[in-house]
Structure formats: structure tokens, C-alpha cells
Amino acid sequence: MDTVQAITTFPDVVLVDPRQAFARPPFPSQEPFSMPGSTANMQPQPDHGEDSYCGAGKLKGLNALVTGADSGIGRAIALSYAREGANVVINYLSEDGDAEVTKTLVEAAGSRAVVIGGDLREESFCTELIGQAVEQLGSLDILVNNAAFQVTEDSIEDFSTETFDRIFKTNIYAPFWLSRAAMGHLPAGGSIINTVSIQGYSPSPYLLPYATTKSALIGMTKALAKLAMERGVRVNAVAPGPVWTPLIPGSMPQEKFENFGADTLFERPAQPAELAPLYVWLASPAASYVTAEVFGCTGGKTPV
């Protein structure tokens, strides 16, 4: 029998100590900025995989919608999807400059980028967003519910009803509205991927509303997976631990984010680029037997 020898041109893998691979706290004092926050204002700049993520065609020909894709984890997902061959709809709230940077990265990878701004707290916009994604790209294969909002307070009395409502509308209602609208378009083999959090399992009191929504989104992921599989659609979630994104200095006082991530086994937070491969795998046919699962990327803080 003839044998076929694989020929590769990949460079040797260089192993590094993961504790030293990326920026470590303490982080420098930074000018306060309002949510959703700007990547350009962060010190140090997050790593989204711009110089490190190499695609291999895992999502070639597929079309994806990623919410909160202007920065942070969302930008890293959009970039990795593009380098794997997918076209990407980049949804964001109001950071036009950040969204344009993500668009440039997606297009530089040779994929199509569609930028659609809007407030996910509006049911009508969520429905419209799915419709626009299908219209612009011709179909929709992957929905990533990644956008989130958080506020930190020191006591329950400090959390207003308005704040609680905004966090729930962004973190729970929007994924529900988007998933409901997307189900009529996703093909068998398609995917919905939700960004949950370690906060859904190990909640911090100063993030009470945010942690509550992430617990709820874990439940939604598992329940929706059972309904979606009736159409051959898989639904999973990624649960990050501390990740260096604009959400952190944009929502936390200096004394809280100065040592952000120092309590992990790595003694540092994750960079967005370190989470992207999970989202790629979950969206790809390689994860064909995976649904209703939550995959942790917490720096060893807790089993998820």
C-alpha cells in the first residue's frame, strides 16, 4: 500500500512560560473612560491575535455575526474567524473607531466585513440585525452573543433599577432576541456561541447584576441547545475568567483593576487572543458532537 507523507511548511512551535507570555499586573493608572470603553485608551494594549493568530481554513465559506466585536474578546473572535476564512458581521454599540479597526483586520485577512452599529437593548434592532446580516452576507451560519455590560458597586443599595435593567437587557434579553431571530436562518450544522463568565459560577459581590446575568445565560445556553438540536444547530458557551479588555478599566476603579488577574494561577489576566481558538473550534465541524457545553478559560480559578 502506498503511503502519503504530509508535507508542511509550518515553523517549529516555540514554547513559552504561560505565566510570562503576556502583560502582568500591576497595571498603570489610566484616564477614566466611560463604557463601552476604547481600546486606544488602554495601557497596555490588549492582544487580539493581530501578530499571532494563523488560520487554516477551519471556517472557510461560512458567515458569522459577532456582537461586541469592536474590541476585546469580540475583536479577537472576528479576527480569528476571518483568518479561518469566514465573513463577519461586526456589531457594536458606539465605538466607531474600534469597529473600523476590527473591520480593517477582517478585510486584511481576505474576508468580507460588514459593520453594523446599534443598541442591543432594543428588540427591534436585534431582529433587524439578524435580517441585515443575512441580507448582506447571503446567509448566516454562526451567531456569537458576546456583547456585555457591567457596573461595579460596593453595596446592593448602590445598584439602581436602571442599571440592573440595562445589564439584563444587554446580557440576557439581547442574546434571547438574537438567537430567536437567528434560528430561522441557521442551517443544520450551524452554531450559536454565548460568552458567559466565571462570574456565573463564582460571583463577585461588586458585580452582582452582571454575575446574575451570566448565571442566567448559562441556563439559557443549555436549554436552548435542546430546542436548537431539533434543527441540527449546536449551542455552546465560553466562560472566561479575567480578560484584559476595555470592559475592565471602563467599569472598574483603579484600585480594582490595578491587580486585575493576579489571583489566577498565571498571576495575570488572559488576553483576548487566548480565548479566540475556543470560539473557532466550537463554530467548526470539528466540534460536531458538542452542544449544551460550557468551556472555561479561567486561568485555573475554577472548574467550569
Q: What is the pLDDT of residues 269-283, one digit of tens each?
A: 999 999 999 999 999
Residue 1 is predicted with a pLDDT of 43
Residue 72 is predicted with a pLDDT of 96
Q: Which domains does the chain have, with CATH numbers?
A: 59-297 (3.40.50.720)
Residue 290 has pLDDT above 80, yes or no: yes
Residue 59 has pLDDT above 90, yes or no: yes
On the CB side of 18, CA atoms within 13 Å amount to: 10
Residue 7 is predicted with a pLDDT of 52
Q: What is the pLDDT of residues 60-79, one digit of tens each?
A: 999 999 999 999 999 999 99
Residue 5 is predicted with a pLDDT of 53
Q: How confident is the model at residue 302 (pLDDT cuts 50, 70, 90)?
A: confident
Contacts of 250 (CB under 8 A, 6+ apart): 33, 34, 35, 36, 37
Mean pLDDT of 2-16: 69
Residue 38 is predicted with a pLDDT of 79
Residue 30 is predicted with a pLDDT of 74
Weakest mean pLDDT among 42-56, 196-210, 222-236, 247-261:
247-261
Task: Report residue 289: phi and psi, to 5°.
Answer: -110, 25
Catalytic residues: 210
Rounded to the nearest 10°, the torsion over CA 197, 200, 206, 208 is 130
Mean pLDDT of 123-130: 98
Residue 251 has pLDDT above 90, yes or no: no
Mean pLDDT of the chain: 93
Mean pLDDT of 115-136: 98
Q: What is the pLDDT of residues 31-51, one digit of tens each?
A: 766 666 678 888 899 999 999
Neighbours of 63 (CB within 10 A): 24
Contacts of 137 (CB under 8 A, 6+ apart): 63, 87, 89, 112, 114
| Residue owning grid cell 479577537 | 76
DSSP per-residue codes, 101-116 = HHHHHHHHTT--EEEE
Residue 33 is predicted with a pLDDT of 62
89 against 9, higher pLDDT: 89
